[in-house]
């Protein structure tokens, strides 16, 4: 091992001063300002550090001078102490003493200042110079570099935790102050706090890219006009940039590299980083709630920014590497179900406590309404395999706070058996990538038949109709942050990620995309018109499908990333929303159609059913709640489902909705017929006759370029309409007039 006297490396300097510490209490964990013995104000520090030999809390003044406070008390492996006089705004970190023995998983190194896992705020940014690594990063023999200890002090190079005043009123986030939008009524909108507001012309420059910017009336006004009910924020937990990005002059943009599960990312704060980010985040949530919009956080509890054995020592690795991470039989190495170098050991009580404490904090003290769990299959693993009776899922199911919020799983990870779409238990909804793939394939005319599409349009009952689950278990999406934007999906067939600096090797090659005849931006009017029609087709399909639709910020106005399908490191105009698109007629009309479709969905319960369709005939007329039609206007047979077909009619009966209103009355609605046509050639379609309808009123026609007004054509049942190539028509069924009027 390398010590302070070898290789010319400076040993850890002695602390400037040592401060006396009172015993304090082992709970709650973290740094909590309070009144101590004899009414003395101060802060209680508590850190779980199993296997540690000693723990110091280190206080830093504005010049970076360090005062060390040994925590002499240890209760059930929690080191704790009360430091008189320490008030909100104080910056701090921990040094944890223990045995350096990577061969058995021990990576304690007192030279490394560690971020408190329970820090409520973080001041500063991780820049990852060699000093922040517990081992000698640049050791000539890299295959053993992780075993050679680096004794240089990391404190000057790492951010510090900040003591925060707990000033949220007890009743701030009561249920009656939240939107509490039912799942069936929800329309999700995935956005990046920085990217959504960074280029908005009506948001003051100093607020762009921040929580305060998202709370600005200009940002909220767009969300309200669009009609979405919830924003799903890309990660806002404090995160670090990866070393390989920093070396290339790039930064982690998406934020899936968490290091502080209680702290709002300081880089998104306009008002300061000495605790002000906490109040700013709460104000943002409050403003969104007042607009009727819920806040869902994308959270990354499957791994941390410390990566594998050659990664930096920032927090958990130096606190208790064996206690927090899954290690292989060779304890130098990490089990990696995430593709990010490490995996949190969620089966261990202290790790499960960290995660659930964090989740409850964001609900009860920060006001959020739900979570989307990145690589949720990792959290559901027991010792090895994914287990839907795992400790994590069991704890969530019985927790009185967490079982009441929206829970969304990304139902896969990169390990063996990690693909778990449809397998999560009741309470959970899931990102449904089978919906994404089926809709993409249909509109590029690549499905062999329409069997899979039928399931996806009607709520994916084949995946979710078990154990009391409902159509809302399916979060339907065509695009997400990860992959092409919707516009790029119809403009590129191949990824163009050269700007990421990884030789275009990153990002998936399975895009299921069609460029409409030219790769990239085109000057041809016919290609551009077809692309806009395809966007209208896909957005209409998404918003008319049963389940919970999710849009991605900017897709409603044609945002492009220039073919980059992995813009995780593009904190620039590639990754930011371009608001000038709203001034262009073609893209403004796409936005208008999207808002109109969302409004239509909100008005009509038949488009957002809370129960699966039965498909059975009922009533004296023998109608079904859901019926499927061929282009000839006849109901589909078993053979039709297996035959190649590009035209599909879907009838939704508003008279047979399996729902009751608050007083127990039947819910009824208009009936609709949607006709999807993916082939390029025009084709006839016969509108089903009685008893399905007497006449049909055209509501949406994606073949029309001008979407600023609703079509108003009324056609008699049994008539033939000509479907334009690659188009979607939505008809409202016209009921017979009781007075005999036409």
Which of the residues are catalytic? Answer: 374, 410
Instruction: State how beta strands 122-123 and 106-107 pair.
Output: unpaired
Instruction: State how beta strands 727-734 and 695-701 pair.
Output: antiparallel
Q: Phi/psi at 224 (nearest 5 deg)?
A: -70, -45
Helix 217-226 / helix 276-290 crossing angle, nearest 10 deg = 40
What is residue 371's three-state secondary structure? strand
Nearest to 396 by CA among 413, 412, 376, 416: 376
How far apart CA 386 and CA 379 sit, in angstroms, is 8
State the number of CA atoms in the 13 A half-sphere of 437 facing the CB.
8
Instruction: State how beta strands 160-162 and 91-97 pair.
Output: antiparallel
Burial tier of 158 (Cβ tally within 10 Å: 0-12, 13-18, 19+): buried
Tally of CB atoms within 10 A around 192: 28
Tally of CB atoms within 10 A around 499: 16
How far apart CA 502 and CA 270 sit, in angstroms, is 32
User: Could you give the angle at the alpha carbon of 94 between the alpha carbons of 120 and 267, nearest 5°?
Assistant: 40
Cα 56 to Cα 83, 131, 133: the distances in Å are 12, 19, 19
Answer left, alpha or beta for residue 619, where phi above 0 means left and psi between -120 and 50 means alpha.
left
Give per-residue burial for 641-671: e unless 16+ CB within 10 Å, then b: eeeebbbbbbbbbbbbbeeeeeeeeeeebbb
């Amino acid at each position: 091992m390398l010590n302070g006297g070898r290789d010319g490396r400076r040993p850890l300097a002695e602390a400037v001063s040592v401060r006396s510490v009172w015993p304090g209490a082992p709970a709650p964990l973290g740094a909590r300002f309070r009144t101590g013995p004899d009414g003395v104000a101060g802060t209680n520090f508590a850190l779980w550090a199993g296997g540690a030999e000693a723990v110091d809390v280190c206080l830093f003044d504005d010049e970076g001078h360090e005062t060390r406070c040994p925590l002499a008390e240890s209760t059930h492996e929690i080191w704790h102490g009360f430091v008189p006089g320490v008030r909100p705004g104080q910056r701090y970190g921990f040094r944890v003493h223990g045995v350096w023995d990577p061969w058995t998983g021990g990576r304690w190194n007192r030279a490394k200042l560690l971020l408190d896992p329970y820090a409520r705020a973080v001041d500063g940014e991780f820049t990852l110079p060699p000093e922040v690594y517990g081992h000698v990063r640049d050791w000539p023999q890299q295959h053993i570099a992780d075993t050679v200890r680096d004794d240089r002090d990391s404190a000057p190079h790492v951010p510090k935790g900040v003591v925060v005043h707990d000033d949220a009123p007890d009743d701030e986030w009561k249920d009656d102050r939240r939107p509490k939008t039912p799942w069936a009524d929800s329309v999700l909108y995935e956005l990046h706090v920085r990217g959504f507001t960074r280029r908005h012309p009506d948001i003051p420059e100093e607020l762009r890219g921040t929580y305060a910017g998202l709370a600005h009336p200009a940002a909220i006004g767009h969300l309200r006009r669009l009609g979405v009910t919830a924003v799903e924020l890309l990660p806002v937990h404090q995160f670090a940039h990866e070393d390989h990005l920093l070396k290339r002059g790039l930064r982690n943009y998406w934020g899936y590299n968490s290091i502080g599960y209680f702290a709002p990312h300081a880089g998104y704060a306009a008002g300061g980083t000495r605790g002000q980010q906490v109040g700013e985040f709460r104000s943002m949530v409050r403003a969104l709630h007042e607009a009727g919009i819920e806040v869902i956080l994308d959270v990354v509890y499957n791994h941390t920014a410390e990566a594998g054995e050659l990664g930096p020592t920032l927090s958990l690795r130096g606190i208790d590497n064996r206690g927090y991470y899954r290690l292989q039989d060779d304890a130098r190495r990490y089990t990696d179900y995430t593709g990010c170098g490490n995996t949190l050991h969620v089966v261990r009580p202290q790790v499960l406590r960290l995660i659930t404490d964090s989740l409850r904090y964001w609900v009860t003290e920060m006001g959020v309404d739900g979570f989307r769990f990145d690589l949720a299959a990792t959290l559901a693993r027991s010792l090895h395999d994914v287990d839907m009776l795992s400790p994590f899922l069991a704890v969530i199911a019985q927790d009185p706070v967490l079982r009441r919020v929206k829970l969304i799983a990304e139902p896969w990870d990169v390990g063996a058996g990690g693909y778990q779409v449809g397998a999560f238990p009741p309470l959970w909804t899931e990102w449904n990538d089978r919906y994404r793939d089926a809709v993409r394939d249909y509109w590029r005319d690549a499905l062999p038949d329409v069997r899979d599409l039928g399931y996806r349009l009607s709520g994916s009952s084949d995946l979710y109709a078990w154990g009391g689950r409902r159509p809302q278990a399916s979060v339907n999406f065509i695009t997400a942050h990860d992959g092409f934007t919707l516009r790029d999906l119809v403009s590129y067939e191949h990824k163009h990620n050269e700007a990421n600096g990884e030789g275009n090797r990153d990002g998936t090659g399975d895009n299921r995309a069609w460029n409409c005849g030219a790769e990239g931006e085109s000057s041809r009017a016919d290609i551009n018109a077809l692309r806009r029609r395809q966007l209208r087709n896909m957005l209409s399909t998404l918003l008319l499908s049963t389940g919970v639709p999710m849009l991605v910020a900017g897709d409603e106005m044609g945002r492009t990333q220039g073919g980059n399908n992995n813009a995780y490191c593009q904190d620039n105009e590639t990754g930011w929303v371009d608001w000038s698109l709203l001034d262009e007629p073609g893209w403004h009309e796409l936005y208008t159609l999207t808002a109109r479709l969302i409004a239509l969905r909100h008005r009509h319960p038949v488009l957002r059913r809370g129960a699966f369709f039965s498909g059975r005939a009922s009533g004296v007329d023998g109608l079904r709640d859901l019926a499927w039609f061929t282009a000839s206007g006849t109901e589909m047979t078993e053979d039709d489902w297996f035959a190649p077909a590009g035209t599909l009619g879907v009838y939704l009966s508003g008279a047979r909705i399996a729902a009751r209103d608050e007083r127990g009355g039947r819910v009824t609605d208009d009936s609709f017929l949607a006709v999807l046509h993916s082939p390029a050639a025009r084709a006839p379609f016969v509108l089903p006759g009685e008893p399905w309808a007497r006449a049909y009123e055209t509501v949406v026609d994606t073949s029309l370029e001008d979407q600023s007004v609703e079509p108003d054509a009324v056609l008699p049942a049994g008539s033939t309409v000509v479907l334009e190539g690659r188009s979607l028509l939505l008809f409202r069924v016209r009921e017979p007039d009781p007075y005999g009027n036409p």
